[in-house]
Amino acid sequence: MFTIISYDIVQDHRRTKVMKYLKGWGTRVQYSVFECDLDAREFTRVLRELTSLIDRNTDSVRCYRLDEAAVKRIHIVGVGGISRDPTHYMVGGE
C-alpha cells in the first residue's frame, strides 16, 4: 500500500538514523518525507523499527496509508512526481 512517512526528529544523530533506515524502504521526496510501497508485513516491520529509533517524548513520526483511490487524488504543485518505482529488491534465490 502506498505509504507516506514524515518525521520530525529533534536530535541530528537520530534524524540521520531514521533517514538512512527509510532510504531502504522508499523514496525521499522532501527533507523529512518518504513515499513507500509497503505491504502489511513490511509496514509493521518499518513501524517497529522506527519506534525503536526515535525518542517518543520528543520526536514524531507520521505514517499515512493510502489506497489507490487516494493516491489518484494526490496533487503535486511544482517539480516532482509520485514515486512508484520499486523501493527495494530481493536478491538471491535458488
Looking at residue 8, what is its pLDDT?
A: 96
H helix or E strand, kind and range, residue 30: strand 26-30
CA separation for the pair 19, 9 (Å, rounded):
10
More confident residue, 42 or 73: 42
pTM: 0.81
C-alpha distances in Å from residue 49, one per residue of 69, 81, 82, 91? 28, 27, 25, 22
**Helix, strand or coil for residue 46?**
helix
Looking at residue 43, what is its pLDDT?
A: 96
Looking at residue 65, what is its pLDDT?
A: 96
